[in-house]
Amino acid sequence: MIIRKRQLVVATLVLALSAAVFINWYYTRPGAEPADKNFGVTDIAGTTKDSKDTNDNLGDAEYVNSSKDEYFADVELRRSQSQDEALGSLEHIIKDTNSDSEAIKKASEQLNFLSNSIKLESDIEALILAKTGLESVVLINKDKCEVVVENGSLESNGILQIKEIATKQTGLAVENITIIELSS
């Protein structure tokens, strides 16, 4: 009796899923009409356009041509990839049974430093954005901190705020903090 109930529940779920997939396909296939004929898109001015008049598809990616946005995204991607590679190799050394205790100790220290650097970089970037409104990329290398910001966006007040944030977060001296404006 229990087996029949389970089979009935599974069959019902499969049928419902199949119906949902068919309905989704039916309304999203090329050339399909919207479910509601009065469906329209309202722009900022409040005028309604027929959905056929717009070439917008919900969920489509929008490309913004901006070299600074590309730069920041590219640096963050490359930084993330290199950090992932470093984390992987350090974890491999720690987990390897053939590694001696000195190598494991050194790898653990480097792993701790790397994880602290990742957190500090992220915290500093968030604080700079919150305090100055500037997009930035922060790179911490042992006793140096470099901050890259948008070109033409720095004022003396912004520089002081960035240096204050970096010194408080990292504990480094002001001389070891470099602020670089992104060239356009």
| Total domain count, the chain | 2
Q: Which segment of 37-51, 70-84, 108-122, 148-162 scores lowest on mean pLDDT?
A: 37-51
Say how far apart CA 100 and CA 102 lie, in whole Å: 6
106 contacts 90 by C-beta, under 8 angstroms: no
With respect to residue 61, please indicate whether it lies within any of the assigned structural domains.
no
Instruction: Please report whether residue 60 resides in a domain.
Output: no
Is 63 a residue whose pLDDT tops 70? no
| Span 164-172, average pLDDT | 90
Domain boundary among 11, 28, 53: 53
Its pTM stands at 0.57
**Which residue range(s) make up the domain with 115?**
67-181
Output the pLDDT for position 168: 92
Cβ count within 10 A of residue 149: 23
Whether residue 62 has pLDDT greater than 60: no
85-93: which pairs have CB atoms within 8 A and are 24 or more residues apart? 86/110, 86/114, 87/111, 87/114, 87/115, 90/114
Q: Is residue 172 in a domain?
A: yes
- Residue at 62 is within a domain: no
